[in-house]
Structure formats: C-alpha cells, structure tokens
Amino acid sequence: MKTKIVSVILLLIGTYAFSQNSYELFGNFISESTPYEAKIKTTKTQEKITSFKIQICKTSTECEESIEIVNNFDQETFISAMRSTMKKSKMAGATFVLKPEVELQWKNIYYNLMKDFNKKEVLTELYDLQDIEYGGRLKMNKELIKLKSEDSIVQYLYFAPKYASVRLFNNKINSISVVGNILDSSGTIIKEEATLFNSKYSIPFRSTIVDRNNYSAKIYTTRGTDHYYYIECNDLLDYKPFENNYSYSLKNKEYEIKVDEELKVEKRGLYDYFTAIIFSDFLGFNNEGGNSILQAEGRARIPLNYVNFGRFNSPEYMEAYLNASIYNGQEEGSGFIEFNVKDNLKNISSFELLRKNNVEAGLNIGVGSFEWKGTSTNWILDYGIQMYRTKFRTIKDTITTNYQLYSISHGPRLKIEIRPQINFGADVNFGLLGLKYSGANKDLDIIEGRNFRKEILKDNGTFYNTLFLTTNFYTKLSPNDGNGGLYFRLGGYYDFYTKNIAPQVMVGYATNLTTFINKFKKNDAAAK
C-alpha cells in the first residue's frame, strides 16, 4: 500500500514537473498565407510567474523558440520576441517583415496570455498600453562620425557606433551612453568597444534633436592620456515622425537602440505633468498660527527648453499650482484676520494676507538654468506671480462682518533642483516677494473713516517686502510599480516690516512624482 501511495505521489510530481516544462497553445496566426501556432512555457517561483518562453510552430516538427523573458510582461517585449523568433531559419527567415495585420493577431495572443497569468498589475499595464501614443521615431545613424577635439590638436579619427542607452527625463536626454569602435583615417580600428557619454550636461530634446538650433550638444569619450574626444549628438541621432505624430514632449523612459535601428518613442500625456498632493501641516495644531492642518495642492511643471547653450537652457519650464486649505482644525475665528473697528490706532501688516491665506495660486517661469551634472542639480533663475485669498473679519460691538481679501505678489527666486537617478528628489527655493493688497469681495475702502488700503494695511514700502526659503523632498513608496509617494515641505517666510516669520512643516502624499524623481518604474527602466 505504501509503495502504491509513493508511486502515485511520484507520478503526480512527475506530471506536475512535466507540465511546468511543456508548452501550452495560446493562439494561431497567419503570415503570408502560412498558419502558425504560438505556444508559451512559463516558469513559476512560489506560485508566481517569473518568466516565460515563446515557441512558434509551422508544423509539428518545424518549431523555433524565443529567448527566456524574465520579469518583463509588457506588450512591446512580447511583440519583439515574436518578431525575433519569426526571423529564425525554420520560420520565415531573416527577411521577415512584421505587417500590421500580423501584429494585431499577436496582440490578441498577448491579451489571452495576460488573462491566463491572472496578474492584476499586468492586466492594468495591458489596458494602459492600449492608450499609448508615440511622439516619433528615434534612429541611430550607421555612418562613420568624425571625432573632434577641444584642443588645437587635429586628429583624423572616426567613430563607428554600435548601440546606445538613452534615458529621457523631463524632455531631455538625461544620459546617453554610446558604444562603438574608434578608427583612424584608413579605417583601421584603434580601439574597440569605446564608450562615449554626455558627462557634462543633459541634452534638451526639443532644441537639439527636433529643432536642431543648439549651440553644441557633445557626447564625450572617457578621459584619455592626452585629451577628450567628442561627437555631436545631431550626427548620431535622428528623429522622425511616427505616422501623424511629431512631438518633443516625451515620456520619462529609458531605451536601448542599435545602429541603423528605428525606435518608437512614447509621447508624454498631459496628465503626466500634473501631480495632486494632500498635505498635513504640523504647525496647524497651533491655534495662534495661520497654518491649516489639511491642505490640497495641484501642481504642473511643463519643461520648455527652447534654447540650449551647453549647460545653459532658456526658458527651462513653466510651472502652475493651486493650494487650498481644506480643514483648519482651529478655534472659531483663528483662521481670520480680525480687526476691531473701534481701535483707531491698530494697523494690519500686509504679511498677514500671506500668513493666513486659505487659497494660493501661482505661475512661475524658469527664465534660465545652469546644469551641474556632477551633482545632479539644475540651478534655475525663476520669476513668478502669485494670487492669495484671505479671510478677514471686522468686529464692531457685537456685530461681525466677514470678507474675502485678495492680494498679489511677484518676485524672483533661485531654485536648485536635485535629481539623482535614485528614489529621491529635492528642491531648494530662496527668493523675494513683493506682496500687495488688490481688493475684496465687497466694499472695504473705508472703515470708520480710515482708508483700509492706505491707513490700516502697512508694510515697509519697498518693492519686495518678504523673504522666503522653502525646501521640498520627494520619494516614491513603490518605485518599481508606481509613481505615487511622500512629499515633504519645510520652510518659512520672513516679513521685512514686522520681522515676523511664518514657518511651514508639511508632510503629504503626491499621486505622481515622475517630474520630481529621476527613477522610473520597472517597465520604463530598460525598454527596447
């Protein structure tokens, strides 16, 4: 009896093991009037599918296998593996050309495969892929490129590219590494597998690749015994339309491209520039302060990069934001600027309009930027305009009247953006504000014979009356799978007239940190 039980167990184990190493039919397709079968073999680790292989069969004996695809279940990888398998000798051969009607059949097979995997994150990615738009096609030229030198020595050397890794971030080529051979004027290889990279600055996609009006976008060799060599980026890469699309607004993503190969580059959607944030200000628990416990903020940063001169870009970006207090959590009246009309000597600092505002909206322009690539920072001169809404209450005996005050500020700031290729980003902002009252939601010109704008509101009378310093820190909660994460803000405002300070200590959750963190999701990290 025990022997039979052991035999049955061994049989079941053997059957299970065989099933794990056998191909399963997932669909058929027709190419050039020839029918094919598409089969898949999966590998599981702890009941989770970690890899799969594709087998395409023309007959029962004429089959070819793909390479093993590990931890990458996106549609583009599947299509690429199918194409490579079809180019093998027992299939269509090296002359195989993928036609749209065949690609559509492959996408249906891919859809059935994803349903079978029953992986929620993969299915989500599948539906996301249906909405992908491409901004254009990137091509790496195969011609020999003249190597140049920054010193007076004339060298007749050439570079023959093989392949490159291109990382796009905020509409720039944040990093590019190109591998190829260095040849002399006779065509003799003097160095194999040489690597060139943009060690000094990022390359704006618009000014360099699309409009080609850049001063110089250089990709350098590693340091030699005498001097650096470089090639121009325009000599290496060419950008062409994809169908009816030709856009420089491209998704943050990393690509690998081979010589004489055209690569579809994903377009960046408008939503990808926007992030929504829910903040909690710890200083809002102080009833004497003007901070709200809960705030909501929407922020959009759109890169521009119209003109490029090496490390310098202008303008760098346009940024818009809206911040609103959701819950003060304070004693009644503490969210207002209160004014007792019988106090003829009392004044109100215009700084209170900023300190106790419940709505703030702003528009900033990055006038010019300088990139210090060695520290992964951009130093930006920015100028902005802001609008504030603040609650105001007058008290006369037992009668209270509520108002909404509106004010406008403007001013320059120095902004340092820190964007290393890790799960971290930061901004440091240091600047000036010229804050002025602009009006109210109802008549507030005269209070008890005093002019509100000229006699009650006071500041130091200078063009800029407020100094501010704010720092923002960002980190994704699941950097391999999502773009949401934590958003910290620490800073404060200083009023030149009253010498008062309005500090902020805020912690929040941001829905989309793709603009602020130079680390991509797993599916965007090494697209081919």
C-alpha 319/C-alpha 308 separation (Å) is: 19
Q: Which DSSP state fits 68?
A: P
Q: Which two tokens stand for residue 479?
A: 């950097």
Angle at 189 between CA 187 and CA 190, to 5 degrees: 125
* Residue 141 pLDDT: 87
C-alpha 65/C-alpha 58 separation (Å) is: 12
Count the alpha carbons within 13 Å of 57 in the hemisphere toward its beta carbon. 13
Q: What is the pTM of this model?
A: 0.72
For residues 482 and 253, is the Cβ–Cβ distance under 8 A?
no
Which residue in 414, 421, 513, 433 sits closest to 473, CA to CA?
513
For residues 402 and 392, is the Cβ–Cβ distance under 8 A?
yes
Full pLDDT tens readout for the chain, 528 residues: 444 433 433 443 343 343 445 788 888 888 888 899 999 888 876 556 778 889 999 888 899 999 888 877 788 888 999 999 999 988 888 888 898 888 888 888 888 787 776 543 443 444 344 467 899 999 998 888 888 876 655 567 889 999 999 999 999 999 999 999 988 888 888 888 888 888 888 988 887 776 655 545 677 776 554 567 788 888 888 888 988 888 889 999 999 999 988 889 999 888 889 999 998 877 655 555 556 788 899 999 999 988 888 899 999 999 999 999 887 765 555 678 888 887 776 788 899 999 999 999 999 999 999 999 999 999 999 999 999 999 998 888 888 888 999 999 999 999 999 999 999 999 999 999 999 999 888 888 777 778 888 888 888 788 999 999 999 999 999 888 889 999 999 999 999 989 999 998 999 999 999 999 999 887 776 654
